[in-house]
Amino acid sequence: MTDNQPARVRYAPSPTGYFHVGGARTALYDYLLARQTGGAFILRVEDTDQKRFNPEAVADLLAGLRFLGLEWDEGVEAGGSYGPYTQTGRLDIYRKYTKQLLDDGYAYRCFCSSERLAAVNDARQKAGQNPGYDRHCRRLAPPETEARAAAGESFTVRLKVPPAGSITVHDAIRGAVTVKNSQLNDAVLIKSNGIPTYHFAVVVDDHLMEITHVMRGEEWLSSYPLHAHLYNFLGWEPPVFAHLPVILNPAGKGKMSKRETRAPDGSLYPVFVHTFKEMGYLPEAMFNYLALVGWSYDDKTEFMTREEIIGRFSLKRVNASPAAWNYDKLNHFNGIYIRRLSVEALTDRLLPFVRRAGIQADRDTLLKITPLIQERLTLLSEAAEKIDFFFGDDLPPFDLALLTPKKLTPADVPPILQKARAVLARIEFNHDALAAGLKQAAADMGLKAGQFFQPVRVATCGKKVAPPLYGTLAVLGKETVLRRIDQTLARLSE
């Protein structure tokens, strides 16, 4: 295949668990190559491992792909002319090619019990040999195996790997890889229940779906020679293979966890796409950051639009070395993308998070608040704790000690609030008037602005850290501000 031909790529997960960012990175690279070349991005579900198959994981996968904007052209739910797009719906197809391999002498039936296989494997390891099968049933004549199968004896079907020589495969990222055939096992192609293994189904499916490029994690590189033998035995031209670098944990000392963990301070280290979504990461930021976990356009460009990444993506610039996941960098990306949104767009993104936190926010009020917090947000989920005091008539009880500024005493607080109330009662509630009035009031009392503002902020917001004071007061409105100051003064007098 030439570089300018439309690529047909597939993302083909085995849904046994939730959609992990490692899988999302693979799906993203598939999507980028398909869009760049004007090809097709196909979603196929590999569900032959029925013991571990999880229907909830399929729903999670589809939702995660859609959240990231990785819409597929063919496959599960989308349909297409190469279906079915789940492996359990393709069993008749696999039987056809199993028979072809058996008839041509490239595969054989294995009748060994699980107990014998375990004993052989144990003996090989004790003898210092590689674990695997001793090819006992490979020596059986085909007529005998056919008779035993016809009699109902349980069997698997194994690949007949050449006993000598070597095979060289080419990887688009790592170049040529040569493996001695003696290092390869006669892999099981069909399990005793008639269900194909990954090794067999993936080769048949990729060929029949006319896949041009296979991108998958580097842990599958060791399987590539087996798959190459299958392509050769079936007389098929293999697609371009690219084994993507592993994603390391933030410490760079091992693979990124498949489970979500918490730091000593209780903060969550998410790994599932749905958790990133729930925490308030933007799909634009995730898309941009994920693209850079193993790929780069050059040595300096980081922030790119979806269209720019599509136009610039190349397998040639995918790094063979592992890339470490960096939560701090992702948070930085997310903050940048939040600040790039219009106030209207950010308001619409914040509204579900605010309401999910139990705040009965209306869009018109939130639209006024959003500019006050936009520069301070890293995650959309952070908005609720920053703006909860805007909604509801009265504040929940707060610690009165928060009212007292540094270098002042609790006795200094009531005069400050009384002065502020008198000023606020007579001025307009807009930014400029509030700024001028409160600054002058602080000066009249011989206080620094921060010393004067802290009691006002705490009395009206219930917290020391809140959005910018003038804008906050303007949104709260004169009636609410004066009432809250009066309530605080009443608490202090008690």
Short-list 336, 332, 362, CA closest to 347: 362
Instruction: Report the distance separating Cα 151 and Cα 162, nearest Å.
Output: 29
The torsion angles phi and psi of 291, rounded to 5 degrees, stand at -60, -30
Short-list 197, 246, 205, CA closest to 226: 197
Q: Are 309 and 288 in contact (CB under 8 A)?
A: yes
Question: What integer pLDDT is reported at residue 2 of this predicted model?
Answer: 46
Looking at the chain, which residues constitute the CATH 3.40.50.620 domain(s)? 90-244
The DSSP element (H or E) to which 176 belongs, if any, is: strand 175-180
**Residue 258 appears among annotated catalytic residues:** yes
The DSSP element (H or E) to which 244 belongs, if any, is: strand 240-244
Looking at the chain, which residues constitute the CATH 1.10.10.350 domain(s)? 400-493
Provide the CATH topology of domain 343-390: Helicase, Ruva Protein; domain 3 (1.10.8)
Number of CB atoms found within 10 A of residue 151's CB? 7
CATH architecture of 400-493: Orthogonal Bundle (1.10)
The SS3 call for residue 75 is strand
The torsion angles phi and psi of 178, rounded to 5 degrees, stand at -110, 135
Question: What integer pLDDT is reported at residue 401 of this predicted model?
Answer: 97
Question: What integer pLDDT is reported at residue 303 of this predicted model?
Answer: 97
Cis peptide bond N-terminal to 84, omega within 30: yes
Looking at the chain, which residues constitute the CATH 1.10.8 domain(s)? 343-390
Number of CB atoms found within 10 A of residue 221's CB? 18
The dotted CATH code for 90-244 is 3.40.50.620
Question: What integer pLDDT is reported at residue 3 of this predicted model?
Answer: 54
Q: Are 139 and 145 in contact (CB under 8 A)?
A: no
Strands 240-244, 268-269: pairing kind: unpaired
Strands lying side by side in the sheet with 156-159: 107-110, 156-159, 188-190
Structure tokens at 456: 């006002």
Catalytic residue among 258, 439, 463, 478: 258
Q: Are 101 and 189 in contact (CB under 8 A)?
A: yes
Question: What integer pLDDT is reported at residue 324 of this predicted model?
Answer: 95
Question: What integer pLDDT is reported at residue 4 of this predicted model?
Answer: 65
Instruction: Report the distance separating Cα 13 and Cα 45, nearest Å.
Output: 6
**CA pseudo-torsion sign 319, 320, 326, 331:** positive
pLDDT tens series, the chain, 494 aa? 445 689 999 999 998 999 999 999 999 999 999 999 999 999 999 998 878 888 899 999 999 999 999 999 999 999 999 999 999 999 999 999 999 999 999 999 999 999 999 999 899 888 888 888 999 999 999 999 999 999 999 999 999 999 999 999 999 999 999 999 999 999 999 999 999 999 999 999 999 999 999 999 999 999 999 999 999 999 999 999 999 999 999 989 889 999 998 878 888 899 999 999 999 999 999 999 999 999 999 989 999 999 999 999 999 999 999 999 999 999 999 999 999 999 999 999 999 999 999 999 999 999 999 999 999 999 999 999 999 999 988 899 999 999 999 999 999 999 999 999 999 999 999 999 999 999 999 999 999 999 999 999 999 999 999 999 999 999 999 999 999 999 999 999 98
Strands 261-262, 268-269: pairing kind: antiparallel
- The whole-model pTM stands at 0.93
Give how far Cα 194 sits from Cα of 104, 233, 296, Å. 20, 21, 44
